[in-house]
């Protein structure tokens, strides 16, 4: 389900049982915890299983968990056994709450769940009609995200430096097809540059502690034949100092109204080093990642994950008993370090976000 002949990767897919039973079917997720060694697809039929898949990072990446949560709301709605509309809406609330509680930082999750709940409230007619509308909405969120990523790729290509002709681009974490509904945000820009003959190579930070760069970004690049060099996170400064990097492109999990951008832990240090070396630093993200309700990055909730992600590698324990750990999954890059934010509406200076995009999101 994940790759077609064009090597396209779709981490979240709706699989209909048969056209005669449109409400039946299930979601297929690529199990991202097993890549790159094992390519496994997980079938999700219940909203609780979708919530667990998001928590355990079987599906991860801001836009991808938004799409997954939208299908999760539908799966929960499908199991509600009432024909009374008010009762249906009341029973949908705990479904939405459970999905909202899975991960705190990526705002796309809340954006997608809110859109599903709002659609349910605004749809008139029978409960069966409501369920069908919710499935259609989840499918639309899914399809729109793929289109959005292609637009981000196109705009990113125009925003990249024109010198040298073939660029060496550093990225952090995975903001690729696996982190979205397909194509990717930061890696969408990279893909577009590759297809346009503007890319020499990707440098992928390994991205401790979950290794999304080493495992997922490198896997996507290899699948597509894009030259990729994996470096450990502490090598980025050295590579920039040696003149090996022409631009940095990363994704985002939540962007505040002033342009401060939360992304995978370690992004902030990459931005600081890029600034020190006068290397442009781009954040690529859809409009659904921008949270106009918060003024700046200090208000972005930062997820803290289990310390075992730090002190174990596979079965091996790395650290002595008695040591303590701090494991924030994200950090905030201040707007001042960001050259432009690349959205489906173009490359925009962080300070211009509200002026250029707030009405688009409201509408
Ligand atoms: O914890 P994850 O893997 O869900 O975090 C995802 C990221 O932070 C990615 O870097 C990404 O840029 C945001 S999603 C396109």
Q: Probe ligand 1: pick from 57, 186, 252, 305, max atoms within 8 Å of CB?
A: 252
Three-state secondary structure readout of 264-302 = ECCHHHHHHHHHHCCCCEEEECCHHHEECCCCCHHHCCC
Residue 4 confidence (pLDDT) above 60:
no
Residue 21 pLDDT level (bands cut at 50, 70, 90)? confident
CB within 6 Å of ligand 1 — which residues? Answer: 60-63, 173-175, 179-180, 185, 212, 250-253, 263-264, 329
CA 27 to chain CA centroid, nearest Å = 18
Residue bearing the CA closest to ligand 1, atom 2: 61
pLDDT value at residue 336: 98
Residue 348 confidence (pLDDT) above 80:
yes
Residue 2 pLDDT level (bands cut at 50, 70, 90)? very low
Q: How many CB atoms lie within 10 A of CB 265?
A: 22
Q: How many CB atoms lie within 10 A of CB 51?
A: 23
Q: What residues form the annotated binding site for substrate?
A: 60-62, 103, 212, 263-264
The topology (CATH level 3) of 154-362 is: Rossmann fold (3.40.50)
Domain limits of the chain?
A: 12-148, 154-362
- CA-based torsion, 262, 263, 268, 271: positive or negative: negative
Tell me if 172 sits within 8 A of 250, measured CB to CB: yes
Q: Probe ligand 1: pick from 179, 286, 331, max atoms within 8 Å of CB?
A: 179
CATH classification (class only), 12-148: mainly alpha
Residue 58 confidence (pLDDT) above 50:
yes
**Tokens of residue 203, six digits:** 């440098």
Residue 17 pLDDT level (bands cut at 50, 70, 90)? confident
Closest ligand 1 atom to 285 CA: 15
Catalytic residue check, 145: no
Residue bearing the CA closest to ligand 1, atom 6: 61
- Compute, in degrees rounded to 10, the torsion defined by CA atoms 253, 256, 258, 264: -30
CA of 253 to the centre of ligand 1 (A): 6
- pLDDT one-digit tens code per residue, 140-167: 999 999 999 999 999 999 999 999 999 9
- Letter string b/e over residues 79-114, b meaning 16 or more CB atoms within 10 A of that residue's CB: ebeeeebeebbebbeebbebbbebbbbbbbbbbbbe
Residue 241 confidence (pLDDT) above 50:
yes
Task: Tell me the β-bridge partners of 186.
Answer: none
pLDDT value at residue 6: 54
CA atoms in the 13 A half-sphere facing the CB of 144: 15
Q: What residues form the annotated binding site?
A: 60-62, 103, 212, 263-264
CA of 71 to the centre of ligand 1 (A): 19
pTM of the entire predicted model: 0.96
Examine the predicted complex and report whether its ipTM is higher than 0.95.
yes
The mean pLDDT of 96-107, rounded to a whole number, is 98
Catalytic residue among 253, 260, 291, 331: 253
- pLDDT one-digit tens code per residue, 277-306: 999 999 999 999 999 999 999 999 999 999
């Amino acid at each position: 389900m994940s790759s077609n002949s064009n090597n396209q990767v779709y981490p979240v897919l709706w699989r209909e049982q048969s056209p005669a039973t449109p409400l039946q079917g299930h979601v297929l997720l690529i199990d991202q915890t097993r890549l790159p060694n094992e390519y496994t697809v997980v079938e999700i039929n219940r909203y609780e299983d979708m919530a667990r898949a998001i928590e355990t990072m079987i599906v991860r990446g801001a836009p991808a968990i938004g799409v997954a949560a939208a299908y999760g709301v539908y799966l929960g709605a499908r199991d509600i056994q009432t024909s009374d509309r008010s009762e249906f809406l009341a029973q949908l609330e705990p479904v939405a709450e459970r999905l909202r509680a899975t991960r705190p930082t990526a705002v796309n999750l809340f954006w997608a769940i809110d859109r599903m709940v709002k659609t349910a409230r605004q749809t008139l007619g029978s409960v069966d009609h409501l369920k069908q509308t919710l499935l259609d909405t989840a499918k639309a969120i899914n399809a729109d995200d793929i289109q959005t990523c292609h637009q981000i790729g196109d705009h990113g290509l125009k925003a990249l430096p024109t010198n040298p002709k073939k660029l060496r681009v550093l990225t952090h974490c995975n903001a690729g097809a696996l982190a979205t509904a397909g194509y990717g945000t930061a890696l969408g820009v990279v893909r577009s540059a590759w297809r346009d003959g503007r890319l020499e190579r990707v440098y992928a930070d390994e991205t401790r502690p979950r290794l999304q760069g080493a495992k997922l970004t490198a896997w996507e690049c290899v699948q597509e034949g894009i030259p990729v060099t994996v470096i450990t996170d502490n090598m980025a400064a050295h590579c920039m100092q040696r003149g090996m990097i022409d631009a940095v492109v990363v994704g985002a999990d939540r962007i505040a109204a002033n342009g401060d951008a939360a992304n995978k832990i370690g992004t902030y240090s990459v931005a600081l080093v890029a600034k020190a070396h006068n290397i442009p630093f781009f954040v690529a993200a859809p409009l659904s990642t921008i949270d106009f309700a918060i003024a700046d990055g200090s208000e972005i909730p930062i997820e803290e994950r289990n310390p075992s992600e730090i002190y174990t590698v596979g079965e091996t324990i790395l650290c002595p008993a008695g040591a303590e750990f701090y494991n924030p999954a994200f950090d905030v890059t201040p707007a001042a370090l960001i050259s432009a934010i690349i959205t489906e509406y173009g490359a925009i200076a962080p300070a211009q976000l509200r002026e250029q995009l707030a009405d688009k999101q409201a509408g």
